[in-house]
C-alpha cells in the first residue's frame, strides 16, 4: 500500500466534497451554531428547564390581583418584576385568556392568624414559556408571605423542629451539566457520526456510478482506494471538532485538555468510519448500507453509553479537567478495536479485489 496513492484518493474525495454545496452548507451551519453557542446553550437549556431563564429576564410582567388585600399585594407592588392590577377575579381571568396579563393571583379573605390555612390560587397559561418564568418569580413572593404567616402562627408550635445545617446552594448547576455533560460531547462527536455516514456514500457511489472498474484499472489498488476514502473522512473529524472547541472557547466556555479531547474523538471516530466502510463493502448499495449502519450505530452507542468509562463521560471529565488514568485505558482499548476492524477491512477489500479481477 503506497502513501502516494492514498493521498491521491484523499485529494480526489476532498475535491468532490468541496464541490458539493450540501456538504459545505452543513459544515458552515455547524460552525455558525458553534460561533453562537452561548445563545444555543441558553435556548436549549430553556427547553428542559424553562425556569433557568428567570435570571435573565428583566421585563416587568403584568399580574392581576383579586381577593383580600394581604401582604402578597404589598410584596407584588414592591417587586421590580411585576406591574400589579387589582381587579375582579372573573375580569382578571378573562384578561389572562386574552394574554393581556401574565398571571392572576387570588388571595382569600383569611386572617394571617386564623386556624385554617391560607389557600392562594395562581392562574397562568398552560404550556407557556413566559408562565414558567413568572412562576419562578412569583415563588419568591409566596415564600416571603409564607415566612410572615409562620411568624404570625408561631405561638401554636409546641414542639421545636430539629435545625438542619444544609450547605448553601449554588446557582448555575443546570448550565454546567448542560454544557459539559451534553453540549461539548455532542458537538465534538457529531463530526465523527457525519464522517462514518460519509464513508458509506463515498464507497457505494463507486458501485452505483460504475466508476469502480475505471478506478481499479489505474495503478491504485482497490484496497488503496478504500483506505484513501477512509483517510479523507478521518481528516475531517479533528478539523471540524477542533473548530467546535475553538469557537466554544471564544464564547467564554472554559475547556480543559482540548488536545486530549481531539485525540480521543479522532481515535473513536476511526472505529465508526471503519464500521461504515465494512458495511458499504458488504452491501454496496447506499440505501441498504445506510439503513443497516444507522441501526447498528444506535446499538453501538447505547452499549458504549452503558459502560462506566464511556467516551461521552470521558470527554466530559476531560473538558472539566477531572479525568484520571482510565482515559489511557479507554484509548488503548479503542486502538485494539481499530486494529481488529482495520484487519477486517483490509481482508475484505482484498477479497473483493480478487473477485473483481476474477470477474
In a domain, 208, yes or no: yes
Provide the 8-state DSSP code for 181: I
Question: Which residues share a beta bridge with 106?
Answer: 66, 121
78 and 193 co-located in one domain: no
In a domain, 162, yes or no: no
In a domain, 164, yes or no: no
266 and 308 co-located in one domain: yes
Pairing of strands 82-86, 121-123: unpaired
Q: What is the pLDDT of residue 338?
A: 92
Rounded Cα gap, residues 282 and 352, in angstroms: 9
Task: Identify the residue whose cell numbers are 407557556.
Answer: 128
Give residue-wise pLDDT tens across range 56-113: 556 788 999 999 888 999 999 998 889 999 999 999 999 999 999 999 999 998 888 8
In a domain, 327, yes or no: yes
Q: What is the pLDDT of residue 6?
A: 75
The answer to whether the beta carbons of residues 273 and 199 sit under 8 Å apart is yes
118 and 234 co-located in one domain: no
239 and 344 co-located in one domain: yes
Number of domains in the chain: 2
User: Which positions ≥6 away from 337 have C-beta within 8 Å?
Assistant: 271
Percent of the chain with pLDDT over 90: 19
Phi and psi (nearest 5°) for 66?
A: -130, 155
29 and 56 co-located in one domain: no
176 and 149 co-located in one domain: no
The answer to whether the beta carbons of residues 92 and 64 sit under 8 Å apart is yes
214 and 150 co-located in one domain: no
Residue 174, pLDDT > 80, answer no
User: Which positions ≥6 away from 219 have C-beta within 8 Å?
Assistant: 5
328 and 184 co-located in one domain: yes
Can you give the CATH number for the domain in which 95 is found? Answer: 3.40.190.10
Residue 55, pLDDT > 60, answer no
Q: How far lies 290's CA from each of 93, 207, 299, 330, in Å?
A: 54, 15, 14, 28
Cell for 212?
469502480
Q: What is the pLDDT of residue 51?
A: 53
Task: Identify the residue whose cell numbers are 469502480.
Answer: 212
Q: How confident is the model at residue 326 (pLDDT cuts 50, 70, 90)?
A: confident
Pairing of strands 103-107, 121-123: antiparallel
Of 95-99, 118-122, 176-180, 282-286, which range is least confident?
Answer: 176-180
Rounded Cα gap, residues 134 and 347, in angstroms: 63
- Residue with the bigger pLDDT between 85 and 31: it is 85
CA angle, residues 298, 247, 240, in degrees to nearest 5: 45
- Domain span at residue 237 reads 3-35+172-358
- Rounded to two decimals, the pTM is 0.63
Q: What is the pLDDT of residue 41?
A: 57
Residue 2, pLDDT > 60, answer yes
Residue 189, pLDDT > 60, answer yes
In a domain, 325, yes or no: yes
- Residue with the bigger pLDDT between 274 and 349: it is 274
289 and 325 co-located in one domain: yes
Q: What is the pLDDT of residue 358?
A: 56
Cα dihedral sign, 248-250-253-255: positive
Give residue-wise pLDDT tens across range 105-150: 999 988 888 888 889 999 998 767 678 778 888 888 999 999 888 8
Provide the 8-state DSSP code for 169: P
251 and 277 co-located in one domain: yes
Rounded Cα gap, residues 284 and 88, in angstroms: 72
User: Which positions ≥6 away from 275 have C-beta within 8 Å?
Assistant: 196, 293, 296, 297, 300, 341
In a domain, 44, yes or no: no
75 and 115 co-located in one domain: yes
193 and 297 co-located in one domain: yes
Rounded Cα gap, residues 356 and 45, in angstroms: 53
In a domain, 45, yes or no: no
Of 112-126, 210-224, 311-325, which range is least confident?
Answer: 210-224
In a domain, 67, yes or no: yes
Amino acid at each position: 500500500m503506497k502513501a502516494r496513492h492514498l493521498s491521491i484518493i484523499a485529494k480526489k474525495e476532498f475535491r468532490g466534497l468541496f464541490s458539493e454545496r450540501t456538504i459545505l452548507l452543513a459544515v458552515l451551519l455547524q460552525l455558525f451554531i458553534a460561533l453562537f453557542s452561548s445563545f444555543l446553550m441558553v435556548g436549549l437549556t430553556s427547553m428542559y428547564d424553562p425556569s433557568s431563564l428567570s435570571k435573565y429576564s428583566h421585563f416587568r410582567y403584568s399580574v392581576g390581583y383579586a381577593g383580600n388585600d394581604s401582604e402578597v399585594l404589598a410584596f407584588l407592588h414592591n417587586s421590580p418584576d411585576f406591574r400589579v392590577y387589582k381587579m375582579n377575579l372573573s375580569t382578571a381571568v378573562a384578561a389572562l385568556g386574552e394574554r393581556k396579563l401574565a398571571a392572576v393571583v387570588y388571595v382569600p379573605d383569611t386572617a394571617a392568624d386564623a386556624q385554617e390555612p391560607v389557600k392562594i390560587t395562581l392562574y397562568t397559561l398552560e404550556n407557556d414559556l413566559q408562565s414558567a418564568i413568572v412562576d419562578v418569580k412569583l415563588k419568591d413572593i409566596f415564600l416571603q408571605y409564607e415566612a410572615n404567616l409562620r411568624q404570625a402562627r408561631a405561638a401554636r408550635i409546641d414542639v421545636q423542629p430539629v435545625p438542619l445545617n444544609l450547605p448553601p446552594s449554588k446557582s448555575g448547576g443546570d448550565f454546567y451539566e448542560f454544557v459539559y455533560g451534553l453540549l461539548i460531547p455532542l458537538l465534538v462527536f457529531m463530526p465523527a457520526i457525519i464522517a462514518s455516514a460519509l464513508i458509506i456514500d463515498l464507497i457505494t457511489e463507486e458501485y452505483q456510478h460504475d466508476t469502480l472498474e475505471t478506478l481499479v484499472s489505474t495503478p491504485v489498488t482497490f484496497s488503496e482506494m478504500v483506505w484513501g476514502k477512509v483517510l479523507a473522512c478521518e481528516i475531517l473529524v479533528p478539523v471540524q471538532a477542533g473548530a467546535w472547541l475553538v469557537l466554544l472557547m471564544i464564547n467564554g466556555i472554559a475547556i480543559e485538555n482540548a488536545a486530549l479531547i481531539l485525540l480521543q474523538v479522532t481515535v473513536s471516530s476511526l472505529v465508526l468510519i471503519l464500521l461504515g466502510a465494512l458495511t458499504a463493502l458488504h452491501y454496496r448499495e447506499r440505501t441498504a448500507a445506510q439503513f443497516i449502519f444507522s441501526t447498528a450505530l444506535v446499538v453501538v452507542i447505547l452499549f458504549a453509553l452503558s459502560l462506566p468509562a464511556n467516551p461521552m463521560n470521558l470527554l466530559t471529565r476531560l473538558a472539566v479537567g477531572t479525568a484520571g488514568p482510565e482515559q489511557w485505558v479507554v484509548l488503548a482499548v479503542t486502538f485494539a478495536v481499530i486494529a481488529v476492524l482495520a484487519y477486517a477491512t483490509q481482508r475484505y477489500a482484498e477479497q473483493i479485489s480478487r473477485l473483481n479481477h476474477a470477474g
